Amino acid sequence: MGAPGREEILARLSEIRHPKSGRSIVELGMVSGIVVRGSNVGFALEIDPAEAEELEPLRRQCEEVVRAMPGVTSCTVVLTAERTPGAASSPAPHPGGPARGQRPERPRLLPEVRSIVAVASGKGGVGKSTTAVNLAFGLAALGWRVGLLDADIYGPSIPRMSGVQGRPKLVDERRLAPLESFGVKLMSIGFLVDEEAPMIWRGPMVQGALQQMMADVDWGALDVLVVDMPPGTGDAQLTMAQQVPLTGAVIVSTPQDIALLDARKAINMFRKVDVPVFGIVENMSYFVCPHCGGRSEIFSHGGARACAERYGVDFLAEIPLDPLVRELSDAGRPIVVTHPESPQARAYLDLAKSVRDRIEAQLGSATRRPPRIVHE
């Protein structure tokens, strides 16, 4: 028997009542973003932030009710805390961010994860996900226990690039087991929804999904969790910076000015939330013709290095533009795994070594250099 449709799911959920009002959660408009992929169902419950802890049993009840429907093997429900109109807002942060040299105390969502590194860009299309995947597999090749979290809810790439299909299985009543590829643990919203299904979710729903992919996944003990961030400086970046202690960030850009303009914004964004920027990667740095061996700098060259010097961060790597990287990424076979001796793979492995060294230095450092915001 196939999985139920959206209307059938809503009909079953309409039997569940809000514990305070006694009205149906469907009638109250709490259910949104229903996605059905095979036998897996996912959706969000929109709630008032003040009720988040109190309504956790309601979330579990929704999962149990839908999971019991014929044709459903798993159900994932996220709580999205949207502030009601007129509700008191929390105090605004100081314009300069946290006090220099200090990081705010945050609840530890990933207690067994030793370090968390965000791979980010201010702009899409610069090869950030390809860099994140090969960085993660490169760190694994160095002997580290590695996880890879796809934080791009609207455009998840990790399932395709890692060559993994299928759905996460339940470990217990509420936790999912991450999938695995070449020894790296993986989690992405792409494992829970159809590859071509659009994620028509508002910001709070994205934040709720990210929190649950961290808190409700059995990541186990990891040396590093690499997070493939979505482009820009929005909800996902702030959620990660506020909810988990990021060890550092790697910024990916092409050499051209239009990409570097947004990369600078990403650097300043992480500095404002007191996350160390490990450095910049210049992706698509140059192209070497496979026929004549001539080098072409298609997107210019050296722009990322100059940006790193100006902003006082390290220049981490030059990654060449090469059809083989694209072909293997599309095939779900990371080049650092399938062609570890190639020049392209060595560039990613050198990047992994640089990031590893900076993680160790950051974790072993008792003090942190104050962030330096550069204004355009």
Q: Tell me: the pLDDT tens digits for 126-147? A: 888 999 999 999 999 999 999 9
The answer on pLDDT for 289 being more than 90 is no
Q: Reply yes or no on whether the pLDDT at 196 is more than 60.
A: yes
Task: Give me the pLDDT at residue 83, please.
Answer: 41
* Residue 77 DSSP one-character state: E
What pLDDT sits at residue 198? 61
Q: Stretch 82-111: mean pLDDT, rounded?
A: 46
Tokens standing for residue 119: 């791979």
Q: What is the DSSP letter of 307?
A: H
Q: Is 339 exposed, middle or buried (0-12, 13-18, 19+ CB in 10 A)?
A: middle
- pLDDT reported for residue 340: 93
According to the CATH classification, is domain 116-364 in 3.40.50.300?
A: yes
Per DSSP bridges, beta strands 179-181 and 248-253 are: unpaired
- Pick the closest to residue 72 from 165, 1, 18 (CA basis): 1
Residue 161 pLDDT: 92
Range 164-185 average pLDDT: 87
What is the Cα–Cα distance from 80 to 58, expressed in whole angstroms?
13
In terms of pLDDT, which residue wins out, 318 or 353?
353
Which ranges in the chain are annotated with CATH 3.40.50.300?
116-364
Indicate left, alpha or beta for 338 from its phi (over 0: left) and psi (-120 to 50: alpha): alpha
Half-sphere exposure of 126 (CA within 13 A, CB side): 34
Task: For the chain, give the longest Cα–Cα distance.
Answer: 74
275 neighbors 139 (Cβ within 8 angstroms): no
Per-residue pLDDT band for 296 (boundaries 50, 70, 90) equals confident
User: What pLDDT, on the 0 to 100 scale, is given for residue 177?
Assistant: 92
Q: Please list, in sequence order, all residues whose beta carbon lies within 8 angstroms of the beta carbon of residue 351, skipping any fewer than 6 positions away.
A: 131, 134, 135, 138, 281, 316, 317, 319
- The whole-number pLDDT of residue 201 equals 65
Residue-level pLDDT at 171: 81
pLDDT at 106 over 70: no
- Report, as an integer, the average pLDDT of 362-366: 72
Is pLDDT at 253 greater than 70 in this prediction?
Answer: yes
pLDDT at 100 over 70: no
| Residue 189 DSSP symbol | G
* pLDDT band per the 50, 70, 90 thresholds, residue 314: very high
Closest CA to 96 of 373, 368, 311: 373
Confidence of residue 195 (pLDDT cuts 50, 70, 90): low
When pLDDT is averaged across residues 152-162 and rounded to a whole number, the result is 87
State the pLDDT confidence band at 1, using cuts at 50, 70 and 90.
low
| Positions of CATH 3.30.300.130 in the chain | 6-81
pLDDT (0 to 100) of residue 335: 93
pLDDT higher than threshold 90 for residue 155: no
pLDDT tens digits, one per residue of 321-342: 888 888 898 888 999 999 999 9
How confident is residue 205, by pLDDT bands cut at 50, 70 and 90? Answer: confident
Cβ distance 116 to 109 under 8 Å?
no
What CATH class does 6-81 carry? Answer: alpha beta
pLDDT at 116: 95
Between 310 and 223, the higher pLDDT residue:
223
Q: How many CA atoms lie within 13 A of 128 on its CB side?
A: 31
pTM confidence score: 0.70
Q: Over pLDDT 70: what percentage of the chain?
A: 83
pLDDT of 300 reads 66
Of 365 and 52, the one with more pLDDT = 52
User: How high does pLDDT run on average in the chain?
Assistant: 81
How far is it, in rounded angstroms, from Cα 110 to Cα 80?
Answer: 20
What is residue 113's predicted lDDT score, i.e. its pLDDT?
94
Which DSSP state fits 2?
P
For residue 323, what pLDDT is reported?
A: 83
Inter-CA distances, 360 with 46, 278, 353, 363, Å: 40, 12, 11, 5
Residue 220 has pLDDT above 60, yes or no: yes
Closest by CA to 155, choosing from 133, 125, 181, 182, is 125
Confidence of residue 66 (pLDDT cuts 50, 70, 90): very high
Q: How far apart are the C-alpha atoms of 132 and 151, rounded to whole Å?
A: 11
